[in-house]
Structure 1
């Protein structure tokens, strides 16, 4: 399955689709995999494919920047990665690898693999800090949430899906937490970091249909914008605020050597 970015300036749908890939065998849930073998090459200038491709335990990244890998691997908004050199967002790489543990990784294991890749092959060293930044607070509307706790059992893995059409963007979340929703749903389609202030700790089933700004609405049937859709369909709001936000400060990063 090719998992590609569907509209400019965001990797949200690439990340969303990553979590939908399935296989007949999963990695043991307590496994912390590394790469058994991995190659990294500069992406060809004429490469048109972009995104994350997961086929069982075979992992491919096509035309991805180091910044995109960091924000996925650490569940961050792009503005939460600071003091990095310009090339981490302007130069692109192809990654092709197989983990050293049998089975398909879950989302957390996929992130762990990329964290190790960043450290071992790109020499990424970072430290956590707080910075005062404009952000959005994710809050429950006065009328309460408009979605229910999941009907799946605790043994089912979370599942996210979505598609992009002329009438807007549709995202579905099953057995998903608010953290899943932030990472795979909205964190990378808004202009500032999102801080979860809902207090919701469970897992839920819900869907969201909205019209991303770059997409021109067809006559008659336009979906609402993201902020309106969240209020009307989910009972959640994004409130613009400013305050201390977690950031990753990049201390060092280097371009990978030849494989």
Structure 2
């Protein structure tokens, strides 16, 4: 049972590296826009304790683009915090229940809010949804936090000596003068579990999305030091805790990244921003 739960939660974290679409997609990460102030809040929201995990345990998150709706099943609060504040900073100071107690969350705003979101850019929508989730955490869990720079273990992602083994995605063909440039295909990463470990199949992925997925697996920030631009297709197969005893288990994520992607995770100890939890209460049933 523990392995099922651990697998599902790790799978969620690997997939949901930014707030857009459903949890099987890794969209373009949120970019801070100093001149833009999000204001979205949820008009209706329920946060309920999920039943104890069983053999049918699964984690799901639904957040349609350009819609205020946000729904999650069997989501730990730590994952919700990371969705609201990002996966780039370690979460410290949180009680144990934040990571191992699961909730069912249903939230939305009104039709007027949806109409406004439909007119915003993709990044502005992500900022709005993140703001709404932060407000939900503050209202229902009395969540208080601050960023504090602390010595932490992180990883730099660099190019391996063997060279990059990922497939570079060609840029869209240029159009005639005066025509709008064709849009880039959205980033997409799907994860598949097996007795051998976990497989990531990524397409149209910029380095930021790749770093986000790797960060969730090594449970530490991953900083892009490759200097690589553009987007890539890749397949990454690596072992996890449930595959240790499998004689055909895939290699560790560190070996797999180097052998299969032509990249390398280098451990460093630096002072980086940590998301420090000052206060959080268990949500009451509603």
Q: Do the two structures share a fold, i.e. TM-score over 0.5?
A: yes
Q: Give matches, 1:11-26, under 5 Å.
A: 11-13=12-14, 15=16, 18-20=23-25
Aligned 8 A contact 1:40 1:94 in 2:
yes
Q: Distance in 2 between matches of 1:54 and 1:73?
A: 14
Structure-2 residue corresponding to 1:27: none
Aligned 8 A contact 2:207 2:224 in 1:
yes
Out of 51, 61, 80, which is 2:59 matched to?
51
Out of 253, 256, 259, which is 2:283 matched to?
256
Structure-1 residue corresponding to 2:262: 235
Q: Distance in 1 between matches of 2:218 and 2:135?
A: 27
RMSD: 3.5
1:81 aligns with 2:110: no
Q: Give matches, 1:168-207, under 5 Å.
A: 168-183=197-212, 185-207=213-235
CA shift, 1:53, in A, is 3.0
Structure-2 residue corresponding to 1:121: 140
Out of 98, 104, 110, which is 2:108 matched to?
98
Q: Distance in 1 between matches of 2:81 and 2:104?
A: 15
Q: TM-score, normalised by structure 2?
A: 0.70
CA shift, 1:167, in A, is 3.3
- Going from structure 1 to structure 2, the CA distance change for 1:178 and 1:75 (only over 3 Å counts) comes to farther
1:211 aligns with 2:239: yes
Q: Distance in 2 between matches of 1:117 and 1:52?
A: 19
CA shift, 1:258, in A, is 4.3
Is the strand fraction higher in 1 or 2? 1
Larger Rg: 2
Q: TM-score, normalised by structure 1?
A: 0.76
Unaligned 5+ segments in structure 1 are 23-29
Aligned 8 A contact 1:137 1:194 in 2:
yes
